[in-house]
Chain A
Amino acid sequence: MLKIVEKTKLWFVMSLIIIVIGIGFIATKGLNLGIDFKGGTAITINMKQKFDKVDVDKIIDKYAKGEYLSKTVNDDKEIEITVKSDALSADQTATMLKDIKTQFKSSTLISEDAIGASIGSELKTKAVTAVIVAMFCILVYVGFRFEFKFAASAIFALVHDILITITVYAVFQIAVNATFIAAILTVVGYSINDTIVIFDRIRENQRIMRKATIEEITNTSVTQTMARSINTVLTVLICIFSVWVFVPSIRELTFPLLIGIGVGCYSSIFIASPMWVFLKKREKKARENKRTVA
């Protein structure tokens, strides 16, 4: 039997340190908010040959009037342009691209993203509301199907997973774009699934191991489900790792997922389960206190 519950403090402190590091990074470096949330325009153009960046900048400057950044990438054959929000209207951007195309005939557009500032903040609010409502529904559902303490522990673990995933974004300065929402959702979806399997086992063992303590029941349940936890997380990680290797254009999504899914598995075992024990024992203590008072 694995001794998971006995080391609760260790697991919590470990996670806390990581989250504090994340908060530190957010406080000093901030999150690298991409244009999906901040608004603005991002353009990548393949020039197909070596070119003089100054020539392109001249065209951009005509429209963006200094409110932009441009840099050459990929062997100096591509140019990445980022324009501040509201410095260019969508129409102006389109005209600018046309101008570039006229002067550099062989160039092809790789991608263009223009997002108004108001859209960005709206996207953010809506996504956050959706996640919060989803979590609330999970709380109610699990509370109803199991008991409230299981639900609260599961949500505690979910918040933990979200915080650590955000830490990954902060530490590695990954651009926070619409894919960020997909990443958070995937981690939450995986983690809740994983947590419920363990809780289900605890619930079952509570019926079988009538004389055992809460710690024993939890440790036994986690031990019994360990092989399953590891095998499942491995298959999911195999899938995501394969996408990470073969599809470089979405590493912005797959990299945080690799860590987030791992954390989701970890939290089900080392955060959610000990948290449940903690809540359970507090309840027991409260009940005993009441009895002594009476």
Chain B
Amino acid sequence: MKKKKSTILFLLSVFVIGLLGFTGFHGFTIGDYRVKPFTETINKGLDIQGGISVLEEVQGGAVDAKILDRAIELISLRVNKMGISETLVAKEGNNRIRIEIPGKFDSKEILDTVAKAGELKFVGPDKVTILTGKDIKDATASYDNDNKPVINLELNTTGKQKFAVATQKFIGQKITIYMDADKLTDPTVQVAILDGKAQISGSATLAEATTKAQIITSGALPVTLKAVSVKTVGATLGEAAMSQSMKAGAVAILFVFLFMLLYYRAPGIIASISLVLYIVLVLSAFSAMNVTLTLSGIAGFLLTIGMAVDANVLIFERTKEELKIGKSIKASVHGGFHRALPSIVDSNSTTIMAGVVLYMMGTGSVKGFALTLVIGVCISLFTALTCTKFLLKLAVEMGLISKTSHFGVKRG
């Protein structure tokens, strides 16, 4: 009875793990619901998918964090206008901005877009510029008395005078506000504005008004930037790296399976099943935690495959030792786990600790490597101590492992 139950449970586990593996790598569709494969859900670093990475440095010494944030916001706005998803604009250190744009290969276009001065112009109907960014004191968004979103514009002293003259001249006509070549809005002058405070209506939502107000205030980049590092990975190189890594991964895993099967026999099957679960879990964690997989991250991942297998190897070797001194299969498996545990915990926690330090101190590729390493080692601990243990126990109960030779141990 127990044997039958174990067999069913074992086969069920194998089926579930197999299904998870299949889903992870191929994805599937049920009705309208589609489960995406890992190749679509995991962020790929620029070195794998191709694109441009630029590091801009603020010139002229230290900058205020607020000013840097404003610059980042403005650059994001410009970069997003290019219509590419998954771009990244982030602060690096306290005076640098990292910009990553996948799928673009023309570094000149990117550098020009990022570094352009950001010229704000108020132009009258006669095409003459009335105000520039220098004349603006502030711009905010709010609702007016009719509960419609408006942009509140405040001008400085020079702007106030110029705007007073212009609005007197253009009552009933339109003044157009441009950000570089793009038209932001073109309000009609209702009354002459003499106090330098104007309300611009015409925004559909408060969010729209807020964005426009932000563009008006932070129009010009508040800092001068210099590109200190530009990295472009061409489309062909990126594409090749991706498909080659997949192939390499498949072959590597196949050979690890073969090796485990040949060396450890029946337990080798169990280690292989655990490894499939391990890989599925790690890749799921990568996609859930939005890890960007770069080449150094792949190196870290490969290392953890080795460590995941290592936990199994430690358990099997200990079990074999127990078998050699004449214990029963069941007692040996139990003892093997028990004795391998301290080694597994100590070796992995040392690695985790090193990984955490590297993650906290490192930058760029060091961080990516450390993150994949820590995630991998934690999950490998889990799969070895639960999945391998569970399946091994079932395998013994169902009779899949009943002789010492199933462990490759000869008793003589």
Q: Which residues of A contact B (CB under 8 A)?
A: 46, 89-91, 93-95, 97-98, 108-116, 118-119, 123, 126-127, 129-131, 133-134, 137-138, 141-142, 145, 178-179, 181-183, 185-186, 188-190, 192-194, 196-197, 200-201, 204, 224-225, 227-228, 231-232, 234-236, 238-243, 245-250, 253, 257
A247 in contact with B358 (CB, 8 Å): no
B313 in contact with A232 (CB, 8 Å): yes
| Residue B84 interfacial (CB < 8 Å) | no
Query: B349: which A residues are within 8 A, CB to CB?
Result: 141
B307 in contact with A193 (CB, 8 Å): yes
Partner of A182, one of B236, B310, B365: B365
Residue among B57, B233, B263, B347 facing the most chain A CB atoms (10 A cut-off): B347
B306 in contact with A200 (CB, 8 Å): no
- Shortest Cβ gap from A195 to chain B (Å): 8
| Residue B118 interfacial (CB < 8 Å) | no
Task: Write the chain A residue with the least CB distance to B339.
Answer: A204
B314 in contact with A228 (CB, 8 Å): yes
Do A185 and B351 contact each other (CB < 8 Å), given the known contacts A109-B232, A114-B231, A247-B241? no
| Residue B165 interfacial (CB < 8 Å) | no
Binds A, one of B103-111, B125-133, B151-159, B192-200: B103-111
List, sorted by A's number, 7 A–B pairs whose CB atoms are closer than 8 Å: A118-B228, A130-B358, A189-B355, A193-B350, A228-B314, A243-B245, A250-B295
A239 in contact with B252 (CB, 8 Å): yes
A190 in contact with B306 (CB, 8 Å): yes
Partner of B231, one of A95, A113, A245: A113
Known interface pairs A112-B230, A185-B358, A238-B255; 20 further A-B residue pairs with C-beta atoms within 8 A, sorted by A's residue number:
A46-B236, A94-B107, A94-B108, A108-B235, A109-B105, A109-B234, A110-B236, A111-B231, A123-B364, A129-B361, A145-B346, A181-B296, A182-B365, A186-B300, A235-B259, A236-B305, A239-B305, A239-B306, A242-B252, A247-B241
Which residues of B, 352-399, contact A by the 8 Å Cβ criterion? 353-355, 357-358, 361-366, 369-370, 373
CA distance A264 to B155 in the complex (A): 67
Dominant secondary structure at the B interface: helix
Query: B370: which A residues are within 8 A, CB to CB?
Result: 185
Query: B351: which A residues are within 8 A, CB to CB?
Result: 189, 192-193
A112 in contact with B232 (CB, 8 Å): yes
| Residue B342 interfacial (CB < 8 Å) | yes
B306 in contact with A116 (CB, 8 Å): no
Partner of A110, one of B237, B296, B343: B237
Residue among A97, A114, A232, A239 facing the most chain B CB atoms (10 A cut-off): A239
CA distance A201 to B255 in the complex (A): 29
10 A-B pairs closest in CB distance:
A236-B306, A90-B227, A94-B108, A116-B228, A242-B252, A246-B248, A182-B296, A112-B232, A130-B361, A196-B347
A130 in contact with B296 (CB, 8 Å): no
Task: Produce 1/0 per residue, B241-268, CB < 8 A to A.
Answer: 1001101110110011001100100000
| Residue B117 interfacial (CB < 8 Å) | no
A197 in contact with B343 (CB, 8 Å): yes
Query: B249: which A residues are within 8 A, CB to CB?
Result: 242-243
B229 in contact with A90 (CB, 8 Å): yes
B248 in contact with A228 (CB, 8 Å): no
Query: A182: which B residues are within 8 A, CB to CB?
Result: 295-296, 299-300, 365-366, 369
Which residues of B, 93-113, contact A by the 8 Å Cβ criterion? 105-108, 111
- Shortest Cβ gap from A93 to chain B (Å): 7
Query: A224: which B residues are within 8 A, CB to CB?
Result: 321
Query: B296: which A residues are within 8 A, CB to CB?
Result: 178-179, 181-182, 253
| Residue B317 interfacial (CB < 8 Å) | yes
| Residue B175 interfacial (CB < 8 Å) | no
A111 in contact with B237 (CB, 8 Å): yes
CA distance A236 to B353 in the complex (A): 21
| Residue B274 interfacial (CB < 8 Å) | no
CA distance A246 to B251 in the complex (A): 9
Query: A227: which B residues are within 8 A, CB to CB?
Result: 317
Task: Write the chain A residue with the least CB distance to B54.
Answer: A90
CA distance A66 to B154 in the complex (A): 53
Task: Write the chain B residue with the least CB distance to A242.
Answer: B252
- Shortest Cβ gap from A118 to chain B (Å): 7
CA distance A179 to B297 in the complex (A): 11
Task: Write the chain A residue with the least CB distance to B52.
Answer: A112
- Shortest Cβ gap from B57 to chain A (Å): 8
A126 in contact with B362 (CB, 8 Å): yes
| Residue B283 interfacial (CB < 8 Å) | no
Partner of B299, one of A193, A225, A257: A257
Query: B247: which A residues are within 8 A, CB to CB?
Result: 246
- Shortest Cβ gap from B343 to chain A (Å): 4
CA distance A179 to B298 in the complex (A): 12
B361 in contact with A231 (CB, 8 Å): no
CA distance A244 to B48 in the complex (A): 16
A193 in contact with B302 (CB, 8 Å): no
Partner of A242, one of B251, B309, B348: B251
Partner of A197, one of B108, B302, B347: B347
B343 in contact with A235 (CB, 8 Å): no
CA distance A134 to B313 in the complex (A): 27
Do A249 and B231 contact each other (CB < 8 Å), given the known contacts A193-B350, A204-B342? no
Query: B207: which A residues are within 8 A, CB to CB?
Result: none
B369 in contact with A185 (CB, 8 Å): yes
B303 in contact with A190 (CB, 8 Å): yes
CA distance A91 to B303 in the complex (A): 39
Task: Write the chain B residue with the least CB distance to A233.
Answer: B306
- Shortest Cβ gap from A240 to chain B (Å): 6
Do A126 and B347 contact each other (CB < 8 Å), given the known contacts A114-B230, A246-B251? no
Task: Write the chain A residue with the least CB distance to B245.
Answer: A247
B357 in contact with A232 (CB, 8 Å): no
Which residues of B, 304-355, contact A by the 8 Å Cβ criterion? 305-307, 309-310, 313-314, 317, 321, 339, 342-343, 346-351, 353-355
A186 in contact with B369 (CB, 8 Å): yes
CA distance A119 to B53 in the complex (A): 14
Partner of B228, one of A90, A98, A193, A236: A90
